[in-house]
Every structure is written in structure tokens, then in C-alpha cells.
Amino acid sequence: MSNLVALVPLVIFLALALAVSLVVRHRAHAAGGGFVKEYFIGNRALGGFVLAMTTIATYGSVSSFVGGPGQAWLVGWGWVYMAVVQVTALVLLYGILGKKMALVSRKLDAVTVIDVIRARYSSNALANVSAVVVVLFFAATMVAQFVGGAKLFEAVTGYSYLVGLVLFGVAVVLFTTIGGFRGVAVTDAICGVAMLIGIFVLAAGILAAGGGYENIMDTIRTNRPEMLEPFGGGSMPASLYFTQWLLVGIFTFVLPQSAVRCMGFKNTKALHGAMIMGTVIIGLMMIGVTSLGVLSAGVLTGDLASYGGSVDNIIPQAIAQTLPPWLAGVAIIGPIAASISTVSSLLIASSSAIIKDVYLHHCESSGKKPTERTIARSSQAVTLCVGAIVFVLAIVPPDVIWKINMFAFGGLETAFFWVLVCGLFWKRAGKWGALLSMTGGTASYCLCMALGFKVMGLHQIVIGITVAGALMMAGSLFGRRDAADEQRMCEVFFPE
């Protein structure tokens, strides 16, 4: 179906995103203020709606739109029951980290999560390790997002993988470079709306093709009754529910790309509004899109082999089979928006880690003072370069989207959970604990993932978090600490 009509909605959408980032840049330029604070944290000016949307769009990735619903097609409603745990994400993020990150980052004039970590633990080594972890995992995730988006594009439009990648890959790298954090936040909001529209359009297509909701449910009951059981006839064991609660529910609030959003909002009203709005929208999105996977079983009634043997083909098939070309073109904006909104946020965060946390810090400690102009130039150059590298990596795609994404997800959670939570809420937490927790926890998580080693059949996140927590305890209780550092830290983090 190599059809030009299917491209029009996507091209319009990408042009809109580019135009918006240009406007945002122009306005920010006119408003003045320091470049770093504007480019990497948008002068802490996010309102409630944009804050909610940028958090959701960053969190909702192409795997929420393709891999997840594909699994739901295979497993049934149990997969939706598991996906619903994601509705807690924004309550936890804003409720636990929101105000503390906002207060602390204003006090420290911090622009990145790593700034906060450096100040909390008085450790440059920890800050550097954090920067490496962030850039490494973010890069892997970005590649996976590009690959997922381009594969979907190829499957639905009939144009080649490369055409898709060039189209939205170039757009996202450009608008992130141009717009900075504020541009990313605003385009994220547009992406979020596009994701919702994509879900509604596809829902209409599937429901119409399947003869209505009740009819589809009857078809499923006849063909695959196990899809209506919470354990999915054995494919959804209780242990999976438990670890998914940890992996995509409870621990998500420490992901640095989420936590940084708590440093960018305008006032407490924005935060409170975002918490309510965001919880409504994230539920609509995650429950909606995953349910569509299940419902497509009423339309795509063959076995997995007849759809190319991969659950990643289910949603593209559902789009192509149930919608006319121009509507299919609207529907693919959803997953592609999910892909680019995740990439843009990770890209600006990677760039901030390299420029702010490594380069500018190095300048500061060696007494150099780069001009505002140099900083502006190099920040944009780094954003562009990282984007270009990721883009090139995505041309020859690695295989499993879902796995790579999940690897990075758990890795980041292991690295940052105790470091952030103890950093903000446990006064005794010290630099040795944090260093050991981040390095030891992440290393053990990755090693167990790579070897496929599990305890009691539970996902490796359990091992990672346990090891990281134990190391944080041990290192903090026994590690040496500097009294002067301690006092400076307490004034900001634990005032009395």
C-alpha cells in the first residue's frame, strides 16, 4: 500500500512540531535569561497541562503502542490488568519527588538531576558515573524507539524503513536541537494529543471491523477463552504481575527523564493540576492502547505465525486492515508521536548530561569560563551529534525492541532508585553508599539480565534493586564522611 495519502497526516504533524519548536525558541530568545537554564530546564516555567503531557509522552514509548498491545493480543485481558499499574506513575512522581526536587533545585540553581545528585553526595565520581549510565541507557532506548517507529511506518505505509526513519528521525533531532527543554515539553504535549487521537481512530477501526465491542468479546470467548482469565491460561503467572508492578509501576518515578520534569514546573498549582490531569490521561492512554491489542484479537483471528511470528506485527496489521489509507495515516501518528516524544526528552537529557554535568563542570573546576555564546553553540552541537549517532545506529536495526527498552528501563531504575530516594529522604545516606549502590546494583542487574539468571523465577529488577539497596545501606553506614560537606548538604536537603 505505497500510498502518498497515508503520508500526509504524518508530514503535517512533523511540520507542526518543527514550527512550534521554532516559535518556542524565538520567544525564549526574546525573553532573555541564561542559556543553560533556558535550554536544559526551560526556565522552570512549565504549566500544569504541559507538565502532565510531557511526563506522559516521555514515559509512553513506542513499545506501549506496539509491543505491549501485541502481547495483549496474544495473552488477553491479563496483559491489560498488568498494564494498568502504570496509572500510579504520575501520582508517585509528583507526590514523592515533585516538591522536593522543585525546592532543592531552586535552592541549588540545579538544572539536571545529576546536579542535584552531585550536591547531595558531594561526589564528582558519582556524578560522572551517573552521566555515563544516563547517556548509555538513553542512547540504547533512543535507538529502540527509532527502530520501533520506523518498522511500524514501513509495515503500515508500504514505504521503506529508511524513508520513515529519515522523515521523523531528522524532524525529532532538529526540533530538539532547536527548541531545547521547553521546545521538547511543548512538542511532547502535541505528541500526547496525537497519541490519544491515534488510539481513538484505531479503536473506531477495530470496533467497526469486529462488529462492535460485544461481538468482539464473543468472538474472543469462542476462539480463545483463556484470554478472559487473569492468568491467561498460564501465560500470566502471579510472579509476572508482581515484578511488573515494580518495573513499570512503582519504580518508574525515579527515572531521570521523569525526575527532571519535577525541576521544570512553574508553581505548586501546576504540579497539583498535572497530577490529576495526568492520571486521567495516562490511564486513558495505557489502558486504551493495551485494550486495543486485546480487541484486535476479534479481527486478527489467525495464529501468531500467520502474522510473521512476532507480536510487534499485530498493531501495524490492525491499522492496515481496519482503516482506509488516509485514516491509517492518522492512526500511525500515535505510535510515531510516542516514539519521537520519548526520543526528544532523552536526547535533551543526554545532551544536558554531557554539557552541563561533564563539560561545564570540568570548566568550572579548572577555572575556565566559557562565554555564553560558546555554551549555546556547544550545547546545540552536542544535541545534534548525539541525535545523529543514534539515527545512524538505527539504520541497521538491532532485533528486539521490547527487550532493549526493558533492559534500559530496569537498569536506570536500579541505578537511580536508592540514590534519589535515600538522597532526598534519608539523611545518613552517604557518598560511598550511593556510589556502591549505583555501580554495584546496575552491574548486577545487567549481568543477571545478560545471563538470564533469576531468583525464584522473578524478573531481574528484584535482584538489581535488592543489591543496590543493600550496598546503599552498607556504604552509608560504614563509609567515611566529611563534616564540612555534610553540613553544606544538610542546609539544602535536611534543614532544621
Partner 1 sequence: MGDPSIRSYCGKMRQANKEARATVIALACIIVVWLVGGFGLAGSDIQVFHTPLWIIGGCVAPWIAAIVAAVVLSRRVFVDFDLDDDAAISGAACEEVARHE
The residue ranges that bind partner 1 (CB under 8 A) are: 77, 80-81, 84-85, 87-88, 90-92, 95-96, 98-100, 102-103, 106-107, 213-214, 217-218, 221, 228-230, 245, 250, 267-269, 271-273, 275-276, 278-280, 283, 287, 291, 425, 494-496
Quick one: 109 or 482, whose CB is closer to partner 1? 109
* Minimum distance of partner 1 from residue 373's CB (angstroms): 29
- Taking the complex as a whole, how short is the minimal distance between the CB of residue 282 and partner 1, in angstroms? 9
Nearer to partner 1, 272 or 362 (CB): 272
Q: Which CB sits closer to partner 1, 281 or 390?
A: 281
Query: Pick from 73, 12, 52: which is nearest to 285 by CA?
Result: 52
The distance of closest approach from Cβ of residue 251 to partner 1 in the complex, given in angstroms and rounded to an integer, is 12
To the nearest whole angstrom, how small is the minimum distance from the Cβ of residue 252 to partner 1? 12
Contact 415, 130 (CB under 8 A): yes
The C-alpha cell of 10 is what? 504524518
> Closer to partner 1 at the Cβ: 244 or 437?
244
> Cβ 426 to partner 1, closest distance in Å?
11
CB of 14 or CB of 85, closer to partner 1: 85
Shorter beta-carbon distance to partner 1: residue 174 or 461: 461
Q: How far is CA 332 from the centre of its chain?
A: 19
Indicate the residue type of 28.
Answer: A
Which is nearer to partner 1, 218 or 485 (by Cβ)?
218
CB atoms within 10 A of CB 305: 8
Cell of 29: 530568545
Q: Min. distance of Cβ 35 from partner 1 in angstroms?
A: 21
Is the CA virtual torsion 465, 461, 336, 296 positive or negative?
negative
Q: Which amino acid is at 357?
A: D
Closer by beta carbon to partner 1, 169 or else 249: 249
- The dihedrals phi and psi of 453, each to the nearest 5 degrees, come to -80, 125
Q: Cα(8)–Cα(226) distance, rounded to whole angstroms?
A: 40
Degrees to nearest 5, angle at CA 280 with 68 and 321: 40
Q: Which residues of 72-102 are buried (b: 16+ CB within 10 A; e: fewer)?
A: bbbbbbbbbbbbebbbbbbbbbbebbbebbb
What is the sign, positive or negative, of the torsion defined by CA atoms of 295, 296, 298, 302? negative
Report the residue number, 101 or 172, with the smaller CB distance to partner 1.
Answer: 101
* Least spacing, CB of residue 49 vs partner 1, in Å: 15
Closest Cα partner for 35 from 360, 383, 373?
373
d(CA 54, CA 192): 8
CB atoms within 10 A of CB 12: 13
DSSP string, 206-250: HHHHTTSHHHHHHHHHHH-GGGGSTTGGGTS-HHHHHHHIIIIIG
CB of 437 to partner 1, least distance (A): 20
Q: CB of 37: closest distance to partner 1 in angstroms?
A: 14
**Inter-residue long-range contacts of 483-488, CB under 8 Å, 24+ positions, other chains counted:** 485/122, 488/122
| Distance, CA of 239 to CA of 253 (rounded, Å) | 22
Nearer to partner 1, 175 or 417 (CB): 417
Least Å distance, CB 279 to partner 1, is 4
Min dist CB 475 to partner 1, Å, is 23
Judged by beta carbon, residue 146 or residue 251, the one nearer partner 1 is 251
